[in-house]
C-alpha cells in the first residue's frame, strides 16, 4: 500500500519524502517566500541543512527532483519545535501537507522527541486544520505576536502534541 493511503489519503501523483541537501536550498527559500511575510534566504536553509539539531523533511512530487513542500524542526533532547512548515501554493489543499507533517512527526519521534511544540497565527485555517487533525492541542495564546504586512498584529496560538515513544505519528 502506498504510504499516503496508509494515513487515509489517496496518492494524487506519486509523492515521496526525501532527505534534502544543499542543492534544494534555493527551492526551499522560494517555497518559504511564497508562504511567509518574512522570507528566509537559501543561505539560511543551507545553514539549517548543516545543523545537527535540525530535522528537515521535503515532499517531492512526480519527477520533480526539487521539493514541493517542507517541514523543519529543531530537536533539543526530548522536545521538538516546528520552526517552519509550508507547501508550494500550486499543490496546497491536496492532502500533501498533512501527509508530510505526519511523516515529519515520525522523524521527530525517531530523533528522540517526546513532545512537539509549534506556534501558528490565529486564523490560519489550513494550518490549524492540519495540526488539529494530527493531534495537536492548543496550549496557549500570545496576543500580538505576529506583525502582518499591513501593520496590524495577530495572535499566535501555541500548540503541543505528545508523541508515543515508539508508536505511529497519527493520533490514536
Ligand atoms: C499549512 C499548509 C502547509 C497545509 O498544506 P496543504 O497541503 O495545503 O494541507 P492539506 O491539503 O494536507 O490540508 C489542508 C487542510 O486545511 C483545510 N483547509 C484548507 N483551506 C481551509 C480554509 N480556508 N478553512 C478551513 N480549513 C481549510 C483542508 O480541509 C484540510 O483539512 P482536512 O485534512 O481536515 O480536510 C499550507 O496551507 C501552507 O503552506 N500554508 C502557508 C504556510 C503556513 O501557513 N504554514 C504553517 C505555519 S504555522
Dist. CA 83–CA 51, nearest whole Å: 13
**Residue 156 Cβ < 6 Å to ligand 1:** no
Q: Establish how many alpha carbons lie within 13 A of residue 65's alpha carbon, considering only the half-sphere containing its beta carbon.
A: 6
Cα of 167 to ligand 1 centre, how many Å? Answer: 25
Q: Is the pTM of this model over 0.75?
A: yes
**In testing the pocket of ligand 1, which one of 129, 135, 156 has its CB within 8 Å of the most ligand atoms?**
129
Write the pLDDT tens digit of every residue in 102-157: 999 999 999 999 999 999 999 999 999 999 999 999 999 999 999 888 889 999 99
Q: For ligand 1, atom 40, which residue shows the shortest CA distance?
A: 86
Strand arrangement, sheet containing 54-61 = 15-19, 54-61, 69-76, 79-87, 115-121, 153-162, 137-147
Percent of the chain having pLDDT more than 70? 88
- Exposed (0-12), middle (13-18) or buried (19+): which is 92, by Cβ within 10 Å? middle
* pLDDT greater than 60 at residue 171: no
**Residue 87 Cβ < 6 Å to ligand 1:** yes
**Residue 37 Cβ < 6 Å to ligand 1:** no
* pLDDT greater than 80 at residue 158: yes
The domains located in the chain, with CATH, are 3-162 (3.40.630.30)
Write the pLDDT tens digit of every residue in 43-86: 999 999 999 999 999 999 999 999 999 999 999 999 999 999 99
Amino acid at each position: 500500500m502506498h504510504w499516503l493511503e496508509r494515513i487515509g489519503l489517496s496518492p494524487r501523483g506519486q509523492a515521496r519524502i526525501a532527505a534534502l541537501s544543499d542543492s534544494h536550498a534555493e527551492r526551499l527559500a522560494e517555497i518559504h517566500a511564497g508562504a511567509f511575510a518574512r522570507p528566509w534566504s537559501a543561505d539560511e536553509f543551507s545553514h539549517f541543512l548543516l545543523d545537527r539539531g535540525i530535522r528537515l523533511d521535503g515532499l517531492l512530487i512526480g519527477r520533480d527532483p526539487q521539493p514541493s513542500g517542507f517541514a523543519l524542526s529543531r530537536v533539543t533532547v526530548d522536545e521538538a519545535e516546528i520552526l517552519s512548515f509550508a507547501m508550494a501554493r500550486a499543490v496546497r489543499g491536496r492532502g500533501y501537507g498533512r501527509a508530510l507533517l505526519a511523516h515529519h512527526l515520525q522523524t521527530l519521534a525517531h530523533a528522540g522527541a517526546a513532545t512537539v511544540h509549534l506556534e501558528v497565527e490565529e486564523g490560519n485555517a489550513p494550518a490549524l486544520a492540519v495540526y488539529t487533525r494530527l493531534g495537536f492541542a492548543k496550549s496557549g495564546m500570545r496576543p500580538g505576536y505576529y506583525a502582518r504586512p499591513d501593520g496590524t498584529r495577530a495572535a499566535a496560538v501555541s500548540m503541543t502534541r505528545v508523541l508515543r515513544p515508539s508508536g505511529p505519528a497519527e493520533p490514536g
